[in-house]
A and B are shown apart, each in its own frame.
Chain A
């Protein structure tokens, strides 16, 4: 094939013209003319869809093409262009979020203790103890153990042993998407599910100390809770 720069394909919508974005427009136009001439009346009356790829085209270019098509009794129906690839064009910013530059030593007003993020499931025999909050992206299986001086948040099923506020913080909480711990401890309180408990919660729940006892409730985001009051 000598002429890969112009490829004609039939489709239900009409004739599809794939045009090589790399060659110069005037050359391209001549090649299209040559192709159309060789097909003579065969294509007459059809509608044409031009795919320019990543080529940047002007309104004049389009008019020129339209005139060319008219000569061959064709009608330009649509043109397709793809976005230029982002290399050295100065438009990367629009494609990806800007990375933040965080000033050193500045403490965010919302920040309190340290938080440990664990992006995996804790299995039997695995144990995490941390001076701060612990967040698990995964499950905590029976036989696994989390001990934290702060809060514990499990984005998954919590089935193991958990101890929040292990250094005595009564205000610590434990939340999980499925809160089914073997044993749950907050500060100096120890609880476990009753032996005949077969109820399976399928909503996120939160455990915290209320009036001196560990209470488990359906988790409601704090803003909504405040509004409800």
Chain B
């Protein structure tokens, strides 16, 4: 019996889909059997980020309405035999699936997989309700900025109301240089407001843009800082205790030199 984790944020554009793709791929890389479910019906992206768009024949709405069998709609990843995607429909809307249908679907998936990772749409309407319907744990993604944190706070409240207690937090797109200058909220500011367990801090990384465009999750890129951060998130999800990585060592050569000769 697998574990169902929903990845949500409230606010759009904070990196839910990127986080889903990386966590899903990372867990599969560790050998787990994983399925990622895109519940963003009408604005699907996970297939694009995974580079699997051109394999879609059936989608979640077809499964929910019984137009096909669940197995027919699952798309096997290019890289990992144990990683699958259940894509959202693009030509329908969020109301095309009901929460009871979602619960049944997720219930079936967790019989087969170690992890069911659900990519939630932005917002708190039907799509959000569907996404969290069958979930047992939640990961809240936020950015270190007031608006994203405000929405994350609202989401945590809504999750609690649905009996999804103790969600995990991923702080995404942190810029260590800006934090150092005091121009960006730091980890403690965010933790202070949200007061939930942080399972990862992912730095802003251009490699993410490249990997998204190529359909290759950054978690597989050993040179990418964001990729490293996601690998750590994955380990924490699977129960391993890994310390948060030090993002400040991203100093340039000049800074290191200054440190060495004691200018700072």
Interface residues of A (CB under 8 A from B): 124-127, 142-143, 145, 161, 182-183, 190, 192-193, 195
Contacts and interface: CB of A to CB of B under 8 A. Distances in A.
B151 interface: no
Nearest to B55: A192
A173 B91 CA distance: 23
B100 interface: no
A143 B55 contact: no
Interface of B: 42-44, 48, 51, 53-57, 78, 90-91
A127 B42 CA distance: 11
A125 B91 contact: yes
Given A125-B91, A126-B91, A145-B91, A193 B54 contact: yes
A143 B90 contact: yes
A125 B54 contact: no
B51 A195 contact: yes
Contacts of A142: 48, 53
Contacts of B90: 124-125, 143, 145
**Which 10 residue pairs across A and B have the least CB separation, nearest first?**
A127-B91, A192-B54, A182-B54, A143-B90, A125-B90, A183-B54, A182-B53, A125-B91, A145-B91, A125-B42
A62 B51 CA distance: 79
B91 A195 contact: no
Contacts of B78: 195
B91 A183 contact: no
- Interface-centre pick from A126, A143, A161, A192 (highest chain B CB count, 10 A): A143
13 contacts: A125-B43, A125-B91, A142-B53, A143-B90, A145-B90, A182-B53, A183-B54, A183-B55, A183-B56, A183-B57, A192-B55, A193-B54, A195-B51
B40 to A, nearest CB: 11
A145 B51 CA distance: 18
Contacts of B51: 195
A142 B56 CA distance: 12
Contacts of B53: 142, 182
A166 to B, nearest CB: 13
A190 B57 contact: yes
Contacts of A143: 44, 90
A142 B53 CA distance: 9
Nearest to B56: A183
Contacts of A182: 53-54
B90 to A, nearest CB: 5
A145 B58 CA distance: 13
A145 B59 CA distance: 14
A156 B54 CA distance: 20
Contacts of B55: 183, 192
Contacts of B54: 182-183, 192-193
A182 B215 CA distance: 14
A190 B54 CA distance: 10
Contacts of B42: 125
Contacts of A183: 54-57
Contacts of A195: 51, 78
